[in-house]
């Protein structure tokens, strides 16, 4: 059996007519840049995220970049974030000449550990950038508390978390900015690059909207230097069309996550939730740690297990036709381009441990019961073969 990590064709087939109609409408309007389709998408995403303002931009990366620019962050400034995330999070900080400063993660959620943030704050700190990894929000209350105490901006990197919730509040609505990505593999994906900034602050919204168009306001008059960060109308129309299906897709991902939990517990594999990981680690014969179901709304952008001998399992599953991915094999403080920061190996042990042991399994909404069972059966076979080899 073949089980891809993601099957965009299965997603597209049922909505093909809707998407093609939306594309035809944009082509017929001849308004391809910041046209009505973008404005409609901005309003819809802002409303979905419980925010008053949405500003469409060219990618999730540019969403982060333009928010940092809106805060005037540059050379000599510091931004605190997690080393266990996609490169863009810290890369945008460095592009502006600022210094990315890392705080380690919580091993239960893989999100930034709020207790690690305060120790990293200096007189140069200007912002905190929490990442809502894998579709589950970071612990935002203590993050906002420390930000308010020190007068720092909070930029939520919600690229993997549109529609997720923390204590009833949607991703992107708690900090001063929320940043979404519409990269095709995201839960809400375009047919290319695209992104969105949401905020409840009208002044910040106006600043971001100005910066995304080279800092012009009005046209051809520039008080600040921005960039070309505009969302095009075709991508906006596709995203808006897909948004109508997002909650149904999220429910499918949640069902698949619950199914994985049941199947793993019935498989004969010794499993535990990550909630027990900080205490037990790999004691008591645990072979696989499963993601801990969040009390709040987890949208399962990824279903990530934790396994010793992860690379061997990944190779075994590839031979069985099961697609997997490692998010992320090298923490940012260990990336060559950040060598100038002078951070030693072992400085962020939870991030380094997660990078060595985590593996994402297929969880897309169209995944069938049969496919899910096959994935778990293959993993059980892997552990049975290891035991046989040792006997």
Instruction: Decide if pLDDT at 355 tops 60.
Output: yes
Asked if 99 and 80 count as a contact pair (C-beta separation under 8 A), the reply is no
Instruction: Decide if pLDDT at 390 tops 70.
Output: no
Asked if 305 and 359 count as a contact pair (C-beta separation under 8 A), the reply is yes
Burial class (CB within 10 angstroms; exposed 0-12, middle 13-18, buried 19+) of 386: middle
Asked if 79 and 244 count as a contact pair (C-beta separation under 8 A), the reply is no
DSSP β-bridge partners for residue 99: 78
Which tens digits make up the pLDDT trace of 153-167? Answer: 999 999 999 999 999
Torsion of CA 227, 233, 237, 240, to 10 degrees: 30
Average pLDDT for the chain = 96
Which tens digits make up the pLDDT trace of 121-132? Answer: 999 999 999 999
Which tens digits make up the pLDDT trace of 201-230? Answer: 999 999 999 999 999 999 999 999 999 999
**Predicted local confidence at residue 391, as pLDDT:** 45
Domains with residue ranges and CATH for the chain? 8-103+110-243 (3.40.640.10), 246-390 (3.90.1150.10)
Least confident of 5-9, 10-14, 295-299: 295-299
Q: Walk across the sheet containing 78-81 and list its strands.
A: 53-57, 195-199, 177-181, 153-157, 125-129, 78-81, 99-102
**Predicted local confidence at residue 389, as pLDDT:** 56
Which tens digits make up the pLDDT trace of 311-325? Answer: 999 999 999 999 999
User: Given pLDDT bands bounded at 50, 70 and 90, which one contains residue 281?
Assistant: confident
Which tens digits make up the pLDDT trace of 229-274? Answer: 999 999 999 999 999 999 999 999 999 999 999 999 999 999 999 9
The tokens for 95 are 């592009």
C-alpha to C-alpha distance for 64 and 211, rounded to whole angstroms: 12
- Global pTM value: 0.96
C-alpha to C-alpha distance for 179 and 66, rounded to whole angstroms: 10
Task: Say if residue 109 is preceded by a cis peptide, omega within 30 of 0.
Answer: no
């Amino acid at each position: 059996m073949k089980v891809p990590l993601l099957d965009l064709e299965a997603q597209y087939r049922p909505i093909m007519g809707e998407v093609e109609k939306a594309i035809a409408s944009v082509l017929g309007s001849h308004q391809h840049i910041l046209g009505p389709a973008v404005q409609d998408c901005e309003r819809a995403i802002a409303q979905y995220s419980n925010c008053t303002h949405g500003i469409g931009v060219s990618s999730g990366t540019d969403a982060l970049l333009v928010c940092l620019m809106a805060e005037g962050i540059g050379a000599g400034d510091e931004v605190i974030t997690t080393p266990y995330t996609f490169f863009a999070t810290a890369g945008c900080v460095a592009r502006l000449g600022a210094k990315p400063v890392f705080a380690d993660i919580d091993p239960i959620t893989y999100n930034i550990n709020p207790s690690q943030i305060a120790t990293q704050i200096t007189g140069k700190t200007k912002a905190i950038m929490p990442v809502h990894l894998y579709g589950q929000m970071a612990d935002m209350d203590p993050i906002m508390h420390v930000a308010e105490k020190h007068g720092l901006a909070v930029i939520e990197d919600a690229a993997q978390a549109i529609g997720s919730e923390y204590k009833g509040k949607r991703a992107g609505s708690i900090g001063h900015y929320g940043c979404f990505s519409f990269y095709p593999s995201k839960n809400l994906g375009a047919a290319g690059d695209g992104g969105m900034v949401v905020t409840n602050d009208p002044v910040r919204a106006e600043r971001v909207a100005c910066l995304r168009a080279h800092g012009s306001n009005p046209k051809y008059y520039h008080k600040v230097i921005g960039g070309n960060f505009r969302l095009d109308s075709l991508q906006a129309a596709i995203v808006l069309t897909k948004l109508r299906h997002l909650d149904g897709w999220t429910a499918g991902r949640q069902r698949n996550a619950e199914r994985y939990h049941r199947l793993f517990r019935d498989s004969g594999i010794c499993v535990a939730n990550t909630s027990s990981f900080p205490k037990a680690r790999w004691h008591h014969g645990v072979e696989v740690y499963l993601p801990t179901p969040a009390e709040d709304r987890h949208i399962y952008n990824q279903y990530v297990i934790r396994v010793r001998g992860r690379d061997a399992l990944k190779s075994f599953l590839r031979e069985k036709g099961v697609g997997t991915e490692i998010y992320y094999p090298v923490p940012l403080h260990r990336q060559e381009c950040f060598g100038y920061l002078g951070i030693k190996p072992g400085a962020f042990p939870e991030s380094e441990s997660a990078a060595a042991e985590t593996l994402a399994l297929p969880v897309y909404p169209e995944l069938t019961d049969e496919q899910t069972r096959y994935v778990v059966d293959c993993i059980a076979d892997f552990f049975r073969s290891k035991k046989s080899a040792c006997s």
